[in-house]
Amino acid sequence: MAIISNTVGYLDGDVLLEGFFAYDDAIDSRRPAVMVNHAWAGRNDFVENKALKLAELGYFAFAVDMYGKGVLGQSNEENASLMQPFMDERSLVLRRMQAALYAVKRMPWVDDKKIASIGFCFGGLCVLDLARSGVDIKGVVSFHGLLAAPEFLKPNNIKTKVLVLHGSDDPMAAIDQVIALQKELTESGADWQVHSYGNTMHAFTNPVANDPAFGTVYQADADKRSWLSMKNFLAEIFG
């Protein structure tokens, strides 16, 4: 028995997307699924490795592709240009997330009543927008995510549980945005948690992040603590 992984194509309209999935073939029955959303560079090794770790925990993991098959940024400038259309038109974020969710539900290894979504940086924004839509999944987890709400998704009846894992010194999600998110989640009737890690900047889970001037710095303790919080959260929502 082993961890099986592969890629699968799926569509948003006429845009071909390519997800990466992983699961433990020692498990015979359908299992909970966890969607994994990438940061601004695209669906890269970082989120594929997270998917593999989730598969080792017994989940079906699906690394979402927001940009299109084979599309990856190679610099901050390229990454920003890939992400910006989604920031300009937030409805596109939700449409791509819905396409990924539809693809995951069709996978034969998945218990489609037990689905969660986690995301990093831009991916954190993606999972929060999915929750804001009122989707009926079990939970979402944002790791150092972008937090600002889109105008087109007004405070809704958020059905899914929400866990936000945040660096207190993150310049891309300042304290006023954290407070606004907490207010939004409360008004939406959500079951929510925000964990704030002291002396921690953006991208704290990424071992290659080392640019204090830009605000992205790996923080090993916050990385370990946030992953443990996610594991406990998934055990709770899927229990």
pLDDT, tens only, 114-140 = 999 999 999 999 999 999 999 999 999
Span 62-88, pLDDT tens digits = 999 999 999 999 999 999 999 999 999
Q: How confident is the model at residue 152 (pLDDT cuts 50, 70, 90)?
A: confident
> How many other β-carbons are positioned within 10 Å of the β-carbon of residue 18?
17
Range of the domain at 157: 3-238
Span 39-64, pLDDT tens digits = 999 999 999 999 999 999 999 999 99
- Give the span between the Cα atoms of 19 and 87, in whole angstroms: 21
- Give the span between the Cα atoms of 181 and 174, in whole angstroms: 11
Please tell me the predicted confidence (pLDDT) of residue 151: 87
Span 169-217, pLDDT tens digits = 999 999 999 999 999 999 999 999 999 999 999 999 999 999 999 999 9
Q: Exposed/middle/buried for 45, CB within 10 Å: 0-12, 13-18, 19+?
A: exposed
Number of domains the chain is built from = 1
Mean pLDDT (the chain) is: 97
CATH number, domain of 100, equals 3.40.50.1820
Angle between helices 90-105 and 76-88 (to 10 degrees): 90
Specify which residues 216 forms β-bridges with: 202, 211
